Structure 1
Amino acid sequence: MINHNLRFALLATILWSMPSACMVGSAWAHEGPPFPILIDHSVANHTVSVWADPDIGEARFFIVVETRDGNRPSEAPKVSLWTEPTSGRLDRASYAAEQQPLRHSMQFFAEPYFDQRDFWNIGIRVSSTGGETEEIMVKVESTPPGYGAWDLAIYLFPFVLIGGAWSYAMAKRIRHYRESQQQQSDGMVESDEGPDHERHQEHALMEATR
């Protein structure tokens, strides 16, 4: 019975862990966290920082634009982005960067397309409202969107660890419960064989010797 309950606890743990693990694995594989590729660079009378998530397929680039003193610009410049492989195997592709509706900062978002794992030149062009246009270029490597089975195993490990501890605690509790029930049963047997039982045995012996 204990083994049956332990198997049930393990099954419940696996079923409990699967949805959370799948959500975590899915979120990481397709929406990995962006990382900075350019910080506080002066462009067209603005300060520009770029964060990127260069996954193969639709990549994500976030361009943060500030004034020279670190404040939100009063007027939005025009921002665009272009990509090309460093090997020159593809022509340059241009993408418009759309301003995102943020209250306290000015951020632009672009989704360039990377067809395969490669090194890419990324150009960020900023045109101020005063007519000044400047461009900066950085290099990034496009990467696969996740690590497959290893990615899932890494993020599943904490759930399995917690589930294993829970299963062990449940099995221990079930074992203690069974031992308690057995002790109570043994106590009832001993009480049935107490003084009353001995008197019945003496009476039966006297009747037999008459």
Structure 2
Amino acid sequence: MTPSLTKKNYHHGDLRITLINAALEIIENEGVDKLSLRACARKANVSHAAPAHHFGTVAGLLDELAAEGYSLLIGEMQNKQNNSTADSLLSAGMGYIRFAIKHPGLFRVMSKMKTSTSSSVRLLKESDAALNFLKESLKQVYLDYHAIALPENTLKLRTELAWCTVHGYSHLYIEGMSENFYFSEPEMILNQLRVSLLVLEEV
């Protein structure tokens, strides 16, 4: 069963969330090419006018879905439930990959809509917050590890390295291209990445 972004639903008065969950179900089970405002309305069992009233167009619906996705991604990156012995940096990386594996269709939509020229302010804010969480995790772990702060320019560079790794691995995995990796478990790759990220900056 496709996970919902929230437990709220139309019967409790939240039509917007019901429509978003319906769109998510279509994307994950049938593919984004099957999503239309009418299909979303049918899945949510509401009038055909309802999605247009809330989101305007399919692009508007996808933008909102992507924004919700980034919010959910941050929650997954913060979740140490499956990584109780890991520090926040490893937990953030594993959470990123775990999210993509759990929501492959949504993950593709998030990547596509983030690069759209019509991305909403909310979508950009949520996506920036996800990247900033990764940055702050690296910043804190480095500080804990060396008792000194990582210089800002190096912090930005290493954050981008971390993002490229987890984002790239996630895409390779959901597209079925990670099966021939020498190290097939993401934890092994992230542990090696961690070594590079925490190397002491030369003064």
Structure whose residues are more often strand by fraction:
1
Shorter-normalised TM-score: what interval?
A: under 0.3
TM-score, with normalisation over the residues of structure 2? 0.20
TM-score, with normalisation over the residues of structure 1? 0.20
